[in-house]
Amino acid sequence: MTAITGQKDEKRSQTARRRNTLMPSRLTIALFLLPAFLLYTIFMIYPLVQALIFSTFEFNGLVRGAFVGLQNFEQLFSRYPISEQLPRAFVHNIYFFIGTMLIQNTLGLLFAVLLHRPRFGKRFFRTVFTLPYLISPLVVGYLWSLMLNPLFGPVNATLRNLGLGSLARPWLGDPATALPAVILVNAWMWVGFPMLLFGAGLAGIEDDLREAARIDGASNLQIFRWIEFPLLTPVIGIVTVLTFIGNFNAFGIVWALGGVDGTPAGATDVLGLVFFRTAFRGGADAFGLASALAVLMFLFIFTVSVLVQTWFRRLESRMQ
Amino acid sequence: MQKKTRFTALALLAIMMLAIMGSVVAQDDVTITVWSWRTEDEDAYNEIFAVYEAANPGVTVEFVPFVNTDYNNILATGLTGEGGPDVVQLRAYGSLQPLIEAGQLLPLDDLSTLENFTPAILKGSQGIQDGHIYGVPFGVQALGAFYNVGIFEELGVSEPETWEDFIAILDAAAAAGYIPLANPAKDSWMLPILHDAVAAPRYGGPEFEAAVLAGETNFNDPNYVASIAVLQDLQPYLPPDVVGVAYNDARTLFITGMSPIFIGGSFEIGFWQSEAPDIEVGMFMVPPPPDSLAGSFVPSWMDGSYGVNALTDSPEAALALVEWMGTQEFGQLFTDKIHQISPATGVVSSDPLLAEFAAGMTEHPASYLLLVNFRYGDPSGTTVLGNELQRLFLGEVTPEEVAAALQTGMEQWFVPANTE
């Protein structure tokens, strides 16, 4: 026994020694990491810290004034009208996220499943569904605001020509339909993204599992429900987190569809627009206030993303 | 090796000497950089500055325009360090204050040509805290109603004298299948414009302005509330689903002849001329609505000014240029080439529509109340009223609630003179 363990120990130390000679020194590793680390620090960490510092100061235009502690944060929740706009925008972001999960990501999953089994046209449809997200959100927004235009837009014109004139609406001018319209347009643009991720996830599931289930007499739907869907959990986690981050940072497409005030009457107002208005349309002290809002948004998005990811990881390990 | 290094060093030295000598020789020649948000006026400004360059040998004026919507940010950065402009186009009233408070502009109180402007105009480039003037005004804008002369002839109507005439025209246009008023409500900034152009007589124009600034009344004043209700009365004449109709849709309605009247600012004139040269456009003041406290007005505001960067390398040349921009000569060139109203005394516009706005402004003067007086803090008056009027058109709020929201918003930062 002791002889065997002794041998093992020797082997282990040998491999360790070999690894040591092959492994570059710590300095080399550090040198290789340096460029990326510097870029990351200068362009990510530094602005974040800067925003945190800015948020505790008073501003006069671009000139920094006195240290005011948490006063800017307090102002966000007490100064009219931002104190009313902020909660409203936050709720809209939540709607935006739920709507996107239900519509965009469900459709993305459906398309991925439909396009998974190799048949003709697979590549064509994949390309078609992913094309819109190659276009700038602003272009997509303007395109759809023209399509949905109540006076000249083809959407209402088509409805009227089909005899469905009663369904014609000022889509972006009615508070009841404006945010759903934004969610749909955003989904139109991004649906290819979850589709690609789910597609890759489906391709990673071994066919043996499906075959075994089929031999046991499972239908396609049952295979999806009991084999494929549970095994997609990690991908669903990633898609959820990315959707969350994307939706809570939404700006371009909402701005193009509803303008900087989130028309009509603030029905499409989101946190990104509130931030933009505070920073660039606010008074002389706008920068401190806007930085405070940016810090809060970052903390919220960061915390929730970490929580969601941890939850999905726990779910995964429980399933295994 | 050593020889080579020595040679390089000598060569570098020689180059540096030449560079220094060059700059000594060129000292008399100055290049003044002018930043602006008017990309569309680049050619016109170059022609105008050519006149100045011809009269001032050795001075070169370089006009650098930026995209309008990015201009404020670009300027804010450009004024903080090197490589910035010498002369800058400045926004007016409240939008100008951050630059003044940051000390980024030179005060211009000593420029002789400021005499060519009225105090009301100069208010647009005045520091609200220190009272100094920081810009030489270049333009003014005014509000009124544009109409399609052809459609008016077809309907057999002429410019309205009374509110009844005005409503009769709108009814006649509706009966003939037109959208009587082209105005939009999706772009909320157009709504306070509509309100002031139509309803300033109802709340009393300049008299109300003086009272509200002095703290003798506020926006909850029944007359101000009633002026908001006037817009409710006009809603049936606006495009259907008006809150879905954007600014450019509304302008399209007007230039395609689908709508005979567009109520807006004098800044539209250039657009009508370039996009619809075949349509003959006229202008009238909207007659006073019932129970008005005053006659019609042509509400106006100072559009912007030219100031001097506090960090400029050539302050004297920059000040000289800006001083010239306050002369009648510049004003005349400006109005002739850029087709906007110049606020300098003695300038006469050759464009009949512009001349009509300019004459209306002098004969029936009023401030575009919320832009001139209520953009010095956050939220701005025009923003609050615009958003609330949208809600009014959606039926979510009453005129009383619109006025109350405006009052609440202004109370956040506005301190009336009497309570100071």
Query: Residue A259: which of B72, B102, B187 has the nearest Cβ?
Result: B187
For chain B, the first-to-last Cα distance in angstroms comes to 78
Mean of pLDDT over chain B: 91
Mean of pLDDT over chain A: 89
Q: Nearest residue on chain B to A178, judged by CA atoms?
A: B244
* 209-248 of B, contacting A, C-beta below 8 A: 239-246
Query: Residue A62: which of B102, B239, B394 has the nearest Cβ?
Result: B102
Q: Which region, left, alpha or beta, applies to residue B241 given φ > 0 means left and ψ of -120 to 50 means alpha?
A: left
Arithmetic mean of pLDDT, B347-374:
93
Can you give the pLDDT at residue A46? Answer: 93
Taking CB atoms and an 8 Å cutoff, what residues of chain A touch B384?
81
CB contacts < 8 A, A to B, total 104
Q: Please say if the pLDDT value at position A282 is more than 80.
A: no
Question: Which of these, B195, B154, B144, B145, lies nearest to B177 by C-alpha position?
Answer: B154
- The 8-class DSSP code of residue A205 comes to S
Q: Alpha-carbon distance A116 to A255, whole Å? A: 35
Angle subtended at Cα B178 by Cα B174 and Cα B184, rounded to the nearest 5 degrees: 100
In this prediction the ipTM stands at: 0.78
- The 8-class DSSP code of residue A70 comes to T
pLDDT band for A24, please (50, 70, 90 cuts).
confident
Angle subtended at Cα A248 by Cα A245 and Cα A252, rounded to the nearest 5 degrees: 105
Q: Please say if the pLDDT value at position B333 is more than 90.
A: yes
The predicted-structure confidence for B58-71, as pLDDT tens digits, reads as follows 999 999 999 887 88
The amino acid present at A252, given as its one-letter code, is G
A150:B245 CB<8 A? yes
Taking CB atoms and an 8 Å cutoff, what residues of chain B touch A268?
none
pLDDT band for A318, please (50, 70, 90 cuts).
confident
Write the CA distances from B133 to A57, B122, B306, integer angstroms: 29, 7, 11
B394:A145 CB<8 A? no
**In this structure, are residues B250 and B237 in contact, taking their beta carbons and an 8 Å threshold?**
no
Write the CA distances from A305 to A90, A237, A241, A300, A308, integer angstroms: 16, 10, 6, 8, 5
Taking CB atoms and an 8 Å cutoff, what residues of chain B touch A174?
241, 243-244, 394
User: What is the least distance, in Å, from the CA of A35 to any CA of chain B?
Assistant: 28
Can you give the pLDDT at residue B420? Answer: 46
Can you give the pLDDT at residue A320? Answer: 74
Q: Please say if the pLDDT value at position B188 is more than 60.
A: yes
User: What is the least distance, in Å, from the CA of B74 to any CA of chain A?
Assistant: 11
User: What is the least distance, in Å, from the CA of B200 to any CA of chain A?
Assistant: 23
Arithmetic mean of pLDDT, A12-27:
64
User: What is the least distance, in Å, from the CA of B156 to any CA of chain A?
Assistant: 27
- The 8-class DSSP code of residue B105 comes to B
- Comparing A8-12, A39-43, A87-91, B146-150, the range with the smallest average pLDDT is A8-12
Question: Which of these, A187, A191, A197, A193, lies nearest to A233 by C-alpha position?
Answer: A197
Q: What percent of chain B has pLDDT over 70?
A: 93
Dihedral, B259, B261, B264, B265 alpha carbons, nearest 10: 110
Angle subtended at Cα A17 by Cα A11 and Cα A23, rounded to the nearest 5 degrees: 130
Q: Which residue in the block uniquely carries the two structure tokens 């939540």?
A: A94
Q: Please say if the pLDDT value at position A192 is more than 60.
A: yes
Which tokens go with B261?
A: 């009247």
- The 8-class DSSP code of residue B185 comes to S
Query: Residue B387: which of A149, A152, A261 has the nearest Cβ?
Result: A261
Can you give the pLDDT at residue B17? Answer: 53
Query: Residue A151: which of B102, B185, B245 has the nearest Cβ?
Result: B245
Question: Which of these, A90, A56, A83, lies nearest to B409 by C-alpha position?
Answer: A83
Taking CB atoms and an 8 Å cutoff, what residues of chain A touch B187?
259, 263
pLDDT band for A271, please (50, 70, 90 cuts).
very high
Dihedral, B252, B258, B260, B266 alpha carbons, nearest 10: 0
Arithmetic mean of pLDDT, A257-269:
91
Can you give the pLDDT at residue B22? Answer: 46
Taking CB atoms and an 8 Å cutoff, what residues of chain A touch B77?
62
A173:B242 CB<8 A? yes
Arithmetic mean of pLDDT, A223-241:
94
Q: Please say if the pLDDT value at position B324 is more than 50.
A: yes
Query: Residue A175: which of B102, B384, B394 has the nearest Cβ?
Result: B394
Can you give the pLDDT at residue B74? Answer: 87
Q: Nearest residue on chain B to A267, judged by CA atoms?
A: B391
Taking CB atoms and an 8 Å cutoff, what residues of chain B touch A169?
241
The predicted-structure confidence for A114-150, as pLDDT tens digits, reads as follows 998 767 888 898 899 999 989 999 999 999 999 999 9
B241:A79 CB<8 A? no
Question: Which of these, A230, A228, A241, lies nearest to A199 by C-alpha position?
Answer: A228
pLDDT band for B95, please (50, 70, 90 cuts).
confident
pLDDT band for A3, please (50, 70, 90 cuts).
very low
Of the two residues B185 and B350, the one the predictor is more confident about is B185
**In this structure, are residues B361 and B300 in contact, taking their beta carbons and an 8 Å threshold?**
yes
With a CB cutoff of 8 Å and minimum separation 6, the contacts of B284 are B144, B145, B147, B159, B160
User: What is the least distance, in Å, from the CA of B371 to any CA of chain A?
Assistant: 14
A263:B187 CB<8 A? yes
Angle subtended at Cα A236 by Cα A230 and Cα A237, rounded to the nearest 5 degrees: 110
Full-model pTM: 0.84
The predicted-structure confidence for B14-55, as pLDDT tens digits, reads as follows 555 555 544 444 446 899 999 999 988 999 999 999 999 999
Q: Please say if the pLDDT value at position B327 is more than 80.
A: yes
Can you give the pLDDT at residue B70? Answer: 80
The predicted-structure confidence for B229-284, as pLDDT tens digits, reads as follows 999 999 999 999 999 999 999 999 999 999 999 999 999 998 999 899 999 999 99
Can you give the pLDDT at residue A13? Answer: 53
Which tokens go with A239?
A: 């898609």
Arithmetic mean of pLDDT, B343-356:
92
Taking CB atoms and an 8 Å cutoff, what residues of chain A touch B127?
none
Q: Please say if the pLDDT value at position B331 is more than 90.
A: yes
Q: Alpha-carbon distance B100 to B104, whole Å? A: 6
